[in-house]
Each structure stands twice: as C-alpha cells, then as structure tokens.
Amino acid sequence: MDDKVRNMTREERLNSLIAKVEKPTRYMGGELNMRVKSGDGLYRFALCFPDTYEIGMSHLGSRIIYNVLNKRDDTYCERCYAPWVDMEALLRESGEKLFSIETKRPLDEFDVIGFSLLYEMCYTNILTMLDLSGIPLLARERGEDCPLVCAGGPCVCNPEPIADIVDLFFFGDGEELVNDFMDCYARCKKNGASKREMLLEMSGIEGIYVPAFYRAEYENGQFSRLVKTEEKAPDTVTRRIVRDLDKAEFTGDLIVPYMNIVHDRIALELFRGCTRGCRFCQAGFIYRPIRERKMNTMIAYADEQLKCTGHDEVSLFSLSSGDYTEIHEMVPTVLERYTKDKVSVSFPSLRIDSFLKDDLEKMQGVRKTGLTFAPEAGTQRLRDVINKGVTEEDLLRTVRDAFEAGWQGVKLYFMIGLPTETDEDILGIAELARKVSREFYSMPKEKRGKGLRCTVSASTFVPKPFTPFQWEPQITVEEVLRRQALLRGALKGIRGVEFNCHFSETSRLEACYARGDRRLAAVMVAAYRRGARFDSWDEHFKKEAWDEAFIENGLTIEQFANRRIGLDEPLAWAHMDALVTMDYLKREYNKAYEGAVTGDCREKCNGCFGAKIAGYCDMHCPGSKFNKAEEQEGGDK
C-alpha cells in the first residue's frame, strides 16, 4: 500500500474502489428514499441478497423486510448485495471488507446478517459475502463476537444443504416473524445472553429453525433421520403465515435506483398463495393459504409509490394475477386513475384460462407491456398429469383475445422433463406454438402490426420439496439435451416463433441442492474454494469446480438429483412443516399417475391442510365456496 492510499480515510478508499468497477451505482448508495438513521444503541441488521444489485433491488420480499425493520426505533437495516467479480477482485487486492450500501460499514461489524434465499444457485455467493467480510464460513467456527447469520425465503423449505453455514432460518412469511426475532434479539442482548442461549430462546419462536440443535444421521449412503440434540428445540418447525395480508406491512417509500434494475416498476402484491395446485410448483404449495389484499388498499399503495418514485409502470403481481377476486374492477380503476400520467399496467403472469379480454383492450391504451402465459406442457395428457387445469382451447382463445386487443408479443413457458413426459409431449409444444402463430397471421394484415414475436421458453423440470413431485427424479443431462434438440428442430420454420432453453447443468445442480442434505455444505465450500461464483450465470458457472468438490466429498449429484425417492423414505426436510400435509402430497402424486385432475380449491376444499390451520380457508379465502372440513372426502381433519 503506497503512502497516498495509506493516508486516505476508509470512505475515500472505498470510493476509489467503487470508481474503478464497471457499474459503480451497484455500490454507491445515496438513492432517493434510502433510509438514513443515526444515534447510539441501534441494532444493525445487514439485509443481504446473494446476487447483483439490479436483481436484489427488484425483489419485493426484500423491499418489505427493509421497510419493516427500519420502522423499528431500535434497528437500522442496511443493504448489501453480492459484489460482481470486478469488485470482489478489488476488495481482495486492497484488503478492504465487503460493506453495506447505506453507511459503508463492514459486514462483520453488524449485529445480524440476513440472507434472502430465492434460488439454490446463489448459495456460493453467500460464501463470497461472508468470506469478503472476514466471517468464518461455517457456523460452528464463529465466536461470540461474530454477527448472527440468518436466512429466509422459499429455499428454507429444505434448509439442510446450508444448515452448517447459517445460524438460524426464517421459515415462512417474514413481516411478523422478523419483528418477533428482533424483539427476542434485543431482549437477549439486554440480559447478556450468550449466542447459544440466544439461539435457544429464538428456537421457540414459530417459524424459526436453529440447525445447531439437530444432528443428521445416514445409513447406506442415504439420509436416515434428524435427531434433536437440545430438548427445548421443537420437533418440527412450522411455517409462519401472515393471516391478514391486507393489514400486513408493505414496502413503504420505494428506493429509486440510479441504474436500471430487472423490474424497474411498482409491484403490487394482490394476493399471496394459489388455489390451483400445479403439481410441479413449489410456490403454489408453500405460500398457501391464499390471502388477498383489498382493492382500495392496492390503490392506496399505488398512489403512494407513484408519488414517491416517478415510475411509469404498475405491475399487478401474484402467482396468478387473473385469479384476484376484484381483478376486473382493479384494472379499469387503475387505468382510469393513472392513464393521464402515461402509467401502464402489466400482468407478470397470467393463467391461460383468465377471462381478461376487456381488461387487455383497456391496458393497451397506454403501452403494450409483455404478456406471459405458461401452458407448461404440450399435450392435454401431460397437462392433466401436472394438474395444470387448462386446455389448448383456453390458450388459443386467450392469445386470440390478446392479438385482437393489439398485442404482438407473447411469451409461452414450458417445462422439459416433467414426470411421464414422452417425445409426443415435446412435439406437442411445437404444434401448440404453430397454432399460436396461425392465430396471429389469420388476422387481417391491418391488425397485425409489424409481426408476431412469440418466444417459446423451455426450462428443465426440477423436483422441489413440498410438491407432489418431490419424490420424482430429474432426467439426466444427456436426456435434457436430446429433448431440447428435438424441440428446437420441431420449432424451426414456424413463423414469428423463437426458442429459448435453460442451461441443463445448472438445473441439475439446482435439483441436487433442492433435495439435498447436510453433507452438501462441505461440497459447496469445496466448490467455492475452487472458484465457484454466480452459478446461475452461465458465463461464470464452473462445472469442473463442482465435479471435483463432489468427488472430494465422496458424493455425486446423481444421488440427490436423479434418484427416485420412495414415498415412505425419510426426507431431509421432513422436520419442516409447510402446513400442506405429506399425506395430501402423496395423494396428489398418485393422482398424477392416474392422470386425474384436482380442481381449484376455491370451488371445493381438497383437504391439503392439517389440524393446525383447519378451517382457516373457510373463514378467510375471498370468494370461497368450501364445504365444511368434516364433509370433505379424503380431507385432513
């Protein structure tokens, strides 16, 4: 270090590093609506997202938690994102530690570090962020002076692959849970509790899992059971739910970034949960029961956020926006209210059977944002297997409505490798795309505009915990590539259609970590030491690093990703109670192989919940027509 650098303040040194990277605005801070706090006695919470700034800043859940924590008088929540490879290199070269955006404070000086776990392929970025902060990677190696390392998000459904790295997990909705956690943290700190004493106290909070109080056992190379080592720890960890979403905290004033982010718009969460029950969809099961916000609440949020940000797009966001009870009142109300200011409305995801023709015609008046539909499978047989609940006629009617309303661009999402899939199902995807193309080009030329832009996207099926397909194997990489090639060839020459497919190696690793156990933490650390970073980015994925890490630890990807699990075998995540019962998931698994469809549970309760929240949907699901629990055929009492 030369004298000039040595004489700089830390802030000056960090600013000099920020000035050298490709995208300085990822690290600068100072954005409009950024929370600023000062004063003694504040607990410092670093809200960390293990991916780039532009991805993390688009995450609605992080926006909500940032607002919830900063509304507390005793807590200052600051943000930190995974540094891109250029910033990581500069931090290592200079000896500086990873820092928060708000105050540039090193992460190891925070009281709590909380990670958002949305995607298994971001796990090595957690290690990067800890390592760059001088924090030991393994929980057992951290002393009393280290921050408490926490994590929440959908991946907590199976926390075991990173259980040796994280001190505690938040399982379920975070709006209330994170406040209970901070209340407990503050109380333990004031009482002078040790880290173990604090963790034991926190393990009694519904929705918190402390892996240090459990030990995994194995037989014949497979997971056998999880043994509780602390009597006071719960036998099972129950997913926490916000029962009244309409009254729950939302995002408050949104931070306005200086750079473009992935979703540079206002996202209004209409409801949480789903009643459709697609058998591959983890979100459709782990966010149950469905809970809606009132239309007036949504309008108030839109007013506030448009005023404080200047955004020109409102996204009506949920797992299936078209199922919102007041959707046909919401769309014209929002459009009438904001059209004069050139604000558009978009639906990130629409069910194919959503009857929205009138709404689509109104929406196109400002700006035609993209429409996305997810048929998932190419034939009706396979759509019934996965319980998609839509027909080819539904799709063609819906895209016809969109085309007649002036849309020229649609995205169609499919999956390759779904259980029972055949080549006929693959070719059915191409045939469906061909019919969509015909729908467009059968219209009069004066209505078509510049031409059809239909993107067919095919991802690889990944079996996920707490779905009816959690026991299913993923197909091999070779088979993925063969089916992709078959589909690519079948789509060739279809007018206005282009094809995108997901990289199969990352899907393979995703399946491995989705269904893995505690032994995978050592594999991840070994891969990280070999340079694994940003595994979800194809240009940075290092297959050799992972292959060598698995060999070093005597494990294979195939034993986790490509093995069919018996319905009665122990599951590494069985101690997590997602509220939807395993008995229900097994019934759905068997119905899949019968090709039997399970209807929308707004029409008839299908008995997915156990006794803990029995009757909840009857009381709280808007528009429900449920029968009484005791009348349900085969339902859980």
pLDDT, tens digit, 9 for 90 and up, residues 387-409? 998 899 988 988 888 888 888 88
Q: How are the residues of the chain apportioned to helix, strand and coil, as percentages rounded to the nearest 5?
A: 40, 15, 45
Distance CA 129, CA 92 (A): 12
Task: Report which of residues 448 and 258 the model is more confident about.
Answer: 258
Residue 67 carries which side chain, given as an amino acid letter? N
Interaxial angle between packed helices 520-529 and 504-514, expressed in degrees from 0 to 180 and rounded to the nearest 10: 140
Q: Is the pLDDT of residue 3 over 90?
A: no
Distance CA 183, CA 67 (A): 16
Distance CA 472, CA 376 (A): 17
Interaxial angle between packed helices 295-309 and 327-338, expressed in degrees from 0 to 180 and rounded to the nearest 10: 30
- Give the tens place of pLDDT for each residue, 49-83: 999 999 999 999 999 999 999 999 999 999 999 99
Confidence tier at 611 by pLDDT (50, 70, 90): low
Confidence tier at 4 by pLDDT (50, 70, 90): low
Q: Is the pLDDT of residue 370 over 70?
A: no
Collapsing DSSP states into helix, strand and coil, what is residue 481? helix
**pLDDT, mean of residues 575-603:** 95
From 477, 466, 335, select the one nearest 416 (Cα to Cα): 477
From 537, 546, 540, 471, select the one nearest 502 (Cα to Cα): 537
Confidence tier at 636 by pLDDT (50, 70, 90): very low
Burial class (CB within 10 angstroms; exposed 0-12, middle 13-18, buried 19+) of 548: middle
pLDDT reported for residue 61: 95
**pLDDT, mean of residues 137-159:** 97
Q: How many CB atoms lie within 10 A of CB 387?
A: 23
pLDDT reported for residue 350: 60
Q: Is the pLDDT of residue 354 over 80?
A: no
Burial class (CB within 10 angstroms; exposed 0-12, middle 13-18, buried 19+) of 440: buried
pLDDT reported for residue 369: 58
Task: Report which of residues 272 and 503 the model is more confident about.
Answer: 272
Distance CA 148, CA 188 (A): 13
Q: How many CB atoms lie within 10 A of CB 39?
A: 8
Collapsing DSSP states into helix, strand and coil, what is residue 486? helix
Confidence tier at 605 by pLDDT (50, 70, 90): confident
Q: Which two tokens stand for residue 137?
A: 């990677």
pLDDT reported for residue 320: 82
- Give the tens place of pLDDT for each residue, 187-220: 999 999 999 999 999 999 999 999 999 999 999 9
Confidence tier at 327 by pLDDT (50, 70, 90): confident
Number of residues that make up the chain: 637
- Quick one: DSSP state of residue 457? E
Its pTM stands at: 0.93
Distance CA 468, CA 311 (A): 40
408 touches 437 (CB < 8 A)? no
**pLDDT, mean of residues 222-249:** 96
What fold, for 370-503? Transcription Regulator spoIIAA (3.30.750)
Mean pLDDT over all residues of the chain?
Answer: 91
Task: Read off φ and ψ for residue 234, nearest 5 degrees.
Answer: -70, 150
pLDDT reported for residue 629: 38
DSSP string for 274-331: -SS--TT-HHHHHTPSPEE--HHHHHHHHHHHHHHH---EEEEESTTGGG-TTHHHHH
**pLDDT, mean of residues 80-90:** 98
- For a pLDDT cut of 90, what percent of the chain falls above it? 75
Task: Verify cis geometry, omega within 30 degrees of 0, for the bond prior to 289.
Answer: yes
584 touches 636 (CB < 8 A)? yes
Q: Which of 88-92, 363-367, 392-396, 534-538 has the lowest mean pLDDT?
A: 363-367
CATH 1.20.1090.10 for the 265-346 domain, yes or no: no
Confidence tier at 237 by pLDDT (50, 70, 90): very high
358 touches 328 (CB < 8 A)? yes
Instruction: From residue 356, give the alpha-carbon distance in Å to each of 200, 314, 353, 410, 620.
Output: 51, 17, 9, 15, 25
| Identical fold, 265-346 and 370-503 | yes
Show me where the domains of the chain are located.
3-238, 265-346, 370-503, 583-631
Q: Which of 115-119, 133-137, 342-346, 395-399 has the lowest mean pLDDT?
A: 342-346
417 touches 429 (CB < 8 A)? no
- For a pLDDT cut of 70, what percent of the chain falls above it? 91
